């Protein structure tokens, strides 16, 4: 029995979604661009999926929705496409805590000679709107800010930030990465989020399979196509459509619309139970993003004086899947750029652990973590040169380090 609490990394495919996509891997294998009658099913299914996504985004026009292969592609297409369509503007504003799909693209743009401003965040992971106002200049092309952070779940007030951007200069494009919020928070692009020009997300965070994503491009937003070489998606994203996965995405979005309200209440209760339970059982732990608005499904906890990989290893032995922002799990030797931007002290930045829930989690999952995790932390802290296991507290000389 596996306790899967890594839903910000990916989610399991919903049975309803799998059932909906299956025909397009079997009998309805046709190319939706083909002329014969048999191909009409595939073509119609893509249309239905597009309308489903458009409806979920607050009733935008269907032709404002492009299907892509993932959120990373959507974000690349938005940023590079905007740059190529607006040669006169050479300044980009983003934040220090974006997903690499934005951060690394922005760094690449800087290599091409654009100027990029990375807005800082505070200790709770929040952005200061005044910093955004000061950052936008007459030659600013685009502001790219994520809706919710994948590591901490901290939600940026995107509606306000997009409005503010347009107040300064209506021709500045506003892009938001909604990968962690699609299906979890309302995305009303004709109402509250009317100032957002570009919005990206992927399917596999909301129970569709990997390999499909979408990009909303508001009518009139100047963006050149990223993939060229075919008439698909009205020539704005060439390449034969991934029919089955697009159908899956449409179904997953509809499913999320239907179940969202009930899921949110349940998932939030599970997350809060885990959070309160762990805080009550463990000294010297802190919730990253505490004090900010956070996604209801995410708990990012820093355990002072131990390292994240050992925790993951031990959780794995207990059949619990989670993730960590520690250097040893990042593939680089640097710990999470998000936690460092939040100035999380070094005693805690290597000991971060993220539990992220989905609608498929239940109370038993929380019970299992609550039963296993305190002993795991205790075992690793006994080995730590900074911990006094006899009194279950930091050694006196290590204590000041916690304050960073």
Query: Catalytic annotation on 328?
Result: yes
Whole-number Å distance between alpha carbons of 340 and 344: 6
CB of 328 to another protein, least distance (A): 4
CA 9 to chain centre: 8
Q: What DSSP assignment string belongs to 159-192? A: HHHHHHHHHH-TTSEEEEE-TTTBTTB---TTTT
CB of 126 to another protein, least distance (A): 17
Q: Residue numbers of the site for another protein (CB under 8 A)?
A: 107, 110-111, 115-118, 305-310, 313-314, 316-317, 326-329, 331-335, 346-347, 350, 376, 379-380, 382-386, 400-401, 403-404
Q: Phi, psi at residue 305, to the nearest 5°?
A: 75, 10
CB of 54 to another protein, least distance (A): 37
* Nearer to another protein (CB atom), residue 131 or residue 159: 131
CB of 157 to another protein, least distance (A): 24
CB of 59 to another protein, least distance (A): 39
Whole-number Å distance between alpha carbons of 184 and 267: 10
CB of 29 to another protein, least distance (A): 33
Buried b (16+ CB within 10 A) or exposed e, 201-226: bbbbbbbbbebbbbbbbbeebebebb
* Nearer to another protein (CB atom), residue 232 or residue 347: 347
* Nearer to another protein (CB atom), residue 68 or residue 288: 288
In 3D space, the residue among 195, 190, 97, 76 whose CA is nearest the CA of residue 146 turns out to be 97
The catalytically annotated residue of 106, 284, 321, 328 is 328
Whole-number Å distance between alpha carbons of 21 and 32: 15
Strand partners, 121: 127
In sequence order, which residues have a C-beta less than 8 Å from that of residue 64 and are 6 or more positions away? 54, 216, 217, 218, 219
* Nearer to another protein (CB atom), residue 282 or residue 327: 327
Whole-number Å distance between alpha carbons of 11 and 51: 23
Q: 3-state DSSP call for residue 101?
A: helix
* Nearer to another protein (CB atom), residue 165 or residue 384: 384
* Nearer to another protein (CB atom), residue 107 or residue 258: 107
Which sequence positions are flagged as catalytic?
A: 328
């Amino acid at each position: 029995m596996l306790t899967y609490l890594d839903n910000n990394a990916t989610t399991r495919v919903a049975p309803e979604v799998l059932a909906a996509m299956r025909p397009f891997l079997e009998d309805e294998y046709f190319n939706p661009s083909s002329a014969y009658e048999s191909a009409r099913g595939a073509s119609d299914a893509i249309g239905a999926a597009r309308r489903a996504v458009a409806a979920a985004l607050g009733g935008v026009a269907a032709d404002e929705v492009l299907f892509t292969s993932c959120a990373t592609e959507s974000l690349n297409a938005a940023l590079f496409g905007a740059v190529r369509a607006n040669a006169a503007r050479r300044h980009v504003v983003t934040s220090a805590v974006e997903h690499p799909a934005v951060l690394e693209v922005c760094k690449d743009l800087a290599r091409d000679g654009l100027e990029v401003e990375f807005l800082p965040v505070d200790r709770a992971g929040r952005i200061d709107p005044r910093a955004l106002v000061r950052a936008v200049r007459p030659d600013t092309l685009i502001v790219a800010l994520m809706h919710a952070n994948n590591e901490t779940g901290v939600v940026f007030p995107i509606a306000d930030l997009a409005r503010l951007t347009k107040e300064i200069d209506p021709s500045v494009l506003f892009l938001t990465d909604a990968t962690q919020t699609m299906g979890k928070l309302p995305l009303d692009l004709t109402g509250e989020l009317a100032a957002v020009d570009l919005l990206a997300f992927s399917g596999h965070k909301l129970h569709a399979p990997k390999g499909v994503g979408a990009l909303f491009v508001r009518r009139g937003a100047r963006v050149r196509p990223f993939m060229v070489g075919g008439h698909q998606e009205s020539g704005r994203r060439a390449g034969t459509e991934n029919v089955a996965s697009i159908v899956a995405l449409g179904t997953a979005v509809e499913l999320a619309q239907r179940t969202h309200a009930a899921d949110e209440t349940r998932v939030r209760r599970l997350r809060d139970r885990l959070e309160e339970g762990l805080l009550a059982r463990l000294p010297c732990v802190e919730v990253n993003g505490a004090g900010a608005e956070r996604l209801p499904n995410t708990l990012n906890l820093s355990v002072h004086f131990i390292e994240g990989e050992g925790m993951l290893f031990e959780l794995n032995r207990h059949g619990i899947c989670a993730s960590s922002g520690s250097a040893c799990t990042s593939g680089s030797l640097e710990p999470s750029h998000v936690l460092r931007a939040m100035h999380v002290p070094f005693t805690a930045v290597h000991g971060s652990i993220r539990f992220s829930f989905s609608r498929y989690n239940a109370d038993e999952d929380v019970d299992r973590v609550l039963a296993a995790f305190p002993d795991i932390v205790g075992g690793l802290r006994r080995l730590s040169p900074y911990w006094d296991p006899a009194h279950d507290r930091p050694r006196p000389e290590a204590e000041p380090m916690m304050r960073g």
